[in-house]
Amino acid sequence: MNDETVPVARRRARDASVPIWALAFVAALFVVTCLSLWAYVVATRPTVPRATSAAVFVVVTPITTPGVPTLDPLLVTITVPPSEPPTATVPPNVNPGFINLGSYVQVVRTEGDPLKLRQAPSLNAEINYLALPNEVLKVENGPTIADGFTWWFLVDPADNTRNGWAVENYLQATNGP
């Protein structure tokens, strides 16, 4: 059978077929493209730690408060705890690691004026002693907060009669006399 004896429709179908090598090339190109895209995504994604699941149990218990009245349909009982006197609390050290009880401080930032050591931690208290600039004193009590300042009770190591409350702003921790 030569080309002239084959019907035209069949000849067109045979001429329009795609060779197998071309299909294999397109399939290989598709696979290489997919693998390249997958490798790019894997290489550029951010590393995030894996999420792990853990059971969380929440236990809700009723709160019982002493001193709260308990109601009984037939009887009402009110329990009041005995009142305790308020306890004096010492404010926390506002300058931790520097000025503490038993440590030594030096009078600073007074611009040449003496530092007033008072009988009580108050700006209105009577002056007990005038400490000279750079004088070293020992911390015996405090801190106490009054009149918007932190106060320390200081004593001259050489003479215990030279003492009083001073504002922390004019004190600097030092190693000793």
Residue 6 domain-assigned (yes or no):
no
Quote the domain boundaries for residue 33. 17-44
Strands of 12-120 (E only): list them.
70-71, 76-77, 104-107, 115-118
Question: What pLDDT is recorded for position 90?
Answer: 43
Residue 71 domain-assigned (yes or no):
no
Q: What is the pTM of this model?
A: 0.46
Residue 156 domain-assigned (yes or no):
yes
**Contacting residues for 158 by C-beta, under 8 A, at least 6 apart:** 177
Residue 26 domain-assigned (yes or no):
yes
pLDDT tens track, the chain, 177 positions: 555 665 666 656 566 678 899 999 999 999 999 999 999 988 888 766 666 666 777 777 776 666 655 555 555 555 666 666 655 444 444 444 478 888 899 999 888 899 999 999 999 999 999 999 999 999 999 899 999 899 999 999 999 999 999 999 999 888 877
Residue 69 domain-assigned (yes or no):
no
Residue 141 domain-assigned (yes or no):
yes
**Distance set, CA 100 to CA 10, 16, 105, 142, 173 (Å):** 108, 99, 9, 8, 9
| CATH code at position 132 | 2.30.30.40
Residue 86 domain-assigned (yes or no):
no
- Domain total of the chain: 2
Question: What pLDDT is recorded for position 152?
Answer: 92
